[in-house]
Structure 1
Amino acid sequence: MSFVKNYSYGLVLIVIVFISSIILIAVSSCDTKDYIQIEVGEGDTLWGFAEKYSEVAKMPTNKFIEWLEEENQIYNGLIYEGQTITLPISQEELPVDVAFME
């Protein structure tokens, strides 16, 4: 009993680190492989993609743009015709009329 009493703080710390590790692994395993990818066309902009898809992604427009920039390594909002970018929505989430256009 004295072992548990002497090392109780250390044991609690070990348990917390273990649980935190499991949570971190579970969260990091959620990747973007199920998200759709689209090719940027002439005249496309991040703002245009955000206006079209942010509601489907359940994100405010500015957060949608931030996500696009971070996940697609886009700097200064510059995208180019022919570039492929990932959108934070799955094929199942696309509205029918948009899914046929892709």
Structure 2
Amino acid sequence: MKKLWENYSYAMILLAVSLIFTMVAKAQLNNEEAYITVTIEEGQSLWKIAESFASEHNLSENEFVSWVEKKNGIVGEMVIPGDELVIPVVAEQIEPTQIAGAEK
């Protein structure tokens, strides 16, 4: 066994690291699929979306906006009508993939 380890230790370590990386990447991908995607409509902002879904998440509005910016690669809260964004609302809790008239 010692000779096997001496000859193939680098390959075994590479295989183990690859498996761990694959499991972590898959867990992150599955985690994002658990959230819903919304399509931005004219006049909407991240803050209005945070207000609209306030009962569906446990974040403050500031935390909600920061999460959406980070996960969707948004800089400066700038959203354009037609953009599709992943928001931190679990998919089982709400079905529609678009927000219709989310303004209050």
TM-score calculated relative to the size of structure 2: 0.61
Label 1:57 to 1:42 Cα distance change in 2 as closer, same or farther (>3 A): same
Equivalences for residues 1-102 of structure 1 within 5 A: 29-30=27-28, 31-94=31-94, 99=95, 102=98
Kept in 2: contact 1:36–1:87 (CA 8 A): yes
Q: Aligned equivalents of 2:81 and 2:61: distance in 1?
A: 22
SS of the equivalent of 2:58 reads coil
Quickly say closer, same or farther: Cα 1:70–1:101, change in 2 above 3 A.
closer
User: Which amino acid letter does the alignment assign opposite residue 64 of structure 1?
Assistant: F
Matched position secondary structure for 1:29: helix
Q: CA RMSD in A?
A: 2.4
Give 1:51's aligned amino acid. E
Count of residue pairs the alignment pairs up: 75
In the aligned structure 2, how far is the partner of 1:36 from the partner of 1:54?
Answer: 14
Bigger relative contact order, structure 1 or 2 (CA pairs below 8 A, ≥6 apart): 2
Cα distance between partner residues in 1 of 2:83 and 2:55: 23
The alpha carbon displacement at 1:66 in A equals 0.4
Deviation by residue 1:43-93 (Cα, 9 ceiling, x = unmatched):
010000111113311111110010010001110100001010001112322
Tell whether the 8 Å contact from 2:39 to 2:97 is kept in structure 1 after alignment: no
Q: Where does structure 2 lack aligned partners over 5 or more consecutive residues?
A: 1-19, 99-104
Unaligned runs of 5+ in 1: 1-21
Which 4+ stretches in 1 moved above 4 angstroms? none
Distance 2:81 2:75 in 1: 15
Structure 2 letter corresponding to 1:75: V
